[in-house]
Structure 1
C-alpha cells in the first residue's frame, strides 16, 4: 500500500531556507516556515533525538522519529494551500447517527463523550490500553473489518500503522482522519478511496505561542485555543 508521507514529502522536498524555526517537545514537533505557516505532528511520547534539519535533509521512512518530523514539515507546507470545506468539530460536521457500526482508532476523550451523550455507540481502540477506556487491541482487526464508519487518528501516518488498518476496511467503509497531525490535502483521498474526510488544524501565521507550548512539552490541550479546526471532505 502507498506510503502517504513518503509521497507527500516527494512533492514537497525540504529546503532549509523555508524554515524559520523548529519546536521539539515530548508530545509534539512543530515546524514554522518563513511565510508563517505552522505544521505540527504528535510524537506519542517518542523522543526526537536528531536535529529536525538533519532528518528532513535525508529522511529515512523506516524510522519512526523521522516520519514524525516529516509529518510536521508536510503539514506546514500543505495545510494552508488547499481550500477547506469548513471550520467545525468533526461531531458537528458529520452526522454519525446513520452509521450502524462505528469504530474509533486512537482515543479522543472529549469526542467519545459526545457520542455517549447522544446515545451513539462507538467502539474505541488505542495503543495505550492501560490508561484509557478502550477495547482490547486484539479485537481491532475484526471490528475495523465490520465497521461502516471509522474515525482514525492521523498519528497512524507517522507510526506507519495506517496501511494495515486501511487494508482491514471493506469497500463501503467511510474513514475520517482526525487530529492536529492531519495533512489537509485531497491527495490522500486520491490515494485511498476509503478516506472520506480529513479533520485537522490551522494556526494563525507566526503564532510563536504554539511553538512555546510545544517546547514546554505541552499536549493538544495547551494549544487547542490557538488552533482552528478545519476539514476537507471528499467531493
Structure 2
C-alpha cells in the first residue's frame, strides 16, 4: 500500500526537509510539527518522521493551511495608488501596474478602478487566481470609503438588508461608521461582491457619493503599512490562510 505523497523506497525528500525548505522553521521544529499531528500529506495526518515525499506533486497542509512548495509561484500584495489603472498594459498610455511590479511576470486578481486605491493582489498561480476571482468562494473584501454628507442612521441597515442596483441586488456583510460630520463621513464596509465599481454605485444609490475609496483587506491579506506604490510578497501563514480561504 502506498503512503500518501510517498514516492516509494529511498526516493523523494524527507518530509521535515521539505517543510523546512518551505520556511516552516528548522528541521527540528518541523519534526515537532509532524510529531504533534499538525501536518497533513495529501489530506492525511502524518506523524512518521522518516516519510519521503515528492515535493513536485505532494499537497501539504500545516494546521489546516496549504504550504506552497513551488518556488516559481509568487503572490504579491500591492498598494495601488490613485490614478493607476488595473492593467499590466494600458492601450491609452495611462499609468498601469507594469511600472509597479518591475519584471515580475504576474497578473492581477480582480481590479480597482483608476480613482480608487488600496490592496490589489497579483500572482502567477493560475489556480489561486481563478478561485479568488470566482464568486462561489465569496472571499470577503474590506473597504474604507469617504462619502459626502453625514450618513443617515438607516443607511447601514439598508445596505445590510440589500439594495437594488441596475444589474441586480447587493448587500454588505458588515458596515461601520468610523467618523461622521455634516460635510463628510468615513465608513468601513465588508462585502464579497466583485462587480464593476460596486462600492461607489452602492453609496450613490443611498445618496452618499464616494469621494475616496481604499481597499484594506482581501480575505486574510491586509494592506497594513504598505504605502502607495509599494509591494510585498505574500508568504508563509498569510499565504496559507489565503489558499485555505479558497479551499486549496
TM-score (norm 2): 0.27
| Greater share of residues in strand | 2
The structure having more radius of gyration, on CA atoms, is: 2
| Greater share of residues in helix | 1
Larger RCO: Structure 1 or Structure 2 (Cα < 8 Å, ≥ 6 residues apart)? 1
